[in-house]
Amino acid sequence: MRVVVTGAGGQLGTDVFKLFSSNGHEVLGCDRTKLDITNQAECNQVIDAFQPDAVIHCAAYTAVDAAESDVDGAYLINAVGTRNIAVAAEKIGAKLVYISTDYVFDGTSTTAYREYDNTDPQSIYGQSKRAGEILAQTLNSRYFIVRTSWVYGAHGNNFVKTMLKLGQEKPELQVVHDQKGSPTYTVHLAEFLLELVDTECYGIYHASGTGECTWYEFTREIFEQAKEILNVKITANLIPCSTEQFPRPAPRPSNSVMDHVSIRTNGFKDFPHWKDGLSEFLNIYDY
């Protein structure tokens, strides 16, 4: 299979490129220097020239707080950029995988979100990603929308790396205990995409680590596993706090947990538990 990966220099895109390549696929990895997704003519040219069977669209504007004051910037990348990729892929009959987010929901549900629950994004980031979903659905006839959450991996900055650093530097660390979700290891997400794109099971998928935790519980597990696996000394005293104690420009979902109905009903293997994903990551982490 010939595959184009946008955002190939990013946290998820790097692992997607490596995994697809190592599984015998011919992959064109496009970072922002190789493909400006906001340029429609360039998207058409690059995708038409390579003639991929599938496009894995990982490129995105992900600065959640910055998006609140950079509305046009968020929509330019997450909406217009996605439109350009969707149209270019449709022109040559390529499948489209659009990576989306739990932020398309309002985050107030008392139960896990299913794939076809009503969306109601509360932040500019979430609204722009939802716009990308709509454009992917309406402009490409062979689409997979894959919503994920709390992503971390070996490449780029993320919550796990930040907590490992702060845990060894700070005497005290306050972490939010009233937002819950499901941490997702990039390698596990890439493995799911590898399996998914080889099918015609089009539609919307929720794809995250199984189980749930708060950011505080996630941090506590990071510290416990880091002591055992990495043999590091954690000095920080971990203290739970509320969202109100740390106001941010963009609202955060209280509940980011997503039910994997589409994974189950389409016969795919579900994700490992989030604690197992963390263990896998720490065991390969070049600390």
Query: Would you please indicate which residues are annotated as catalytic (active-site) residues?
Result: 125
Contact 241, 177 (CB under 8 A): yes
One-character DSSP codes across 187-230? HHHHHHHHHHTTS---EEEE---BS-EEHHHHHHHHHHHHHHHT
Burial class (CB in 10 A: 0-12, 13-18, 19+), 247: exposed
Nearest to 38 by CA among 2, 69, 7, 1: 7
Per 3-state DSSP, what percentage of the chain is helix, strand, and coil (rounded to 5)?
45, 20, 40
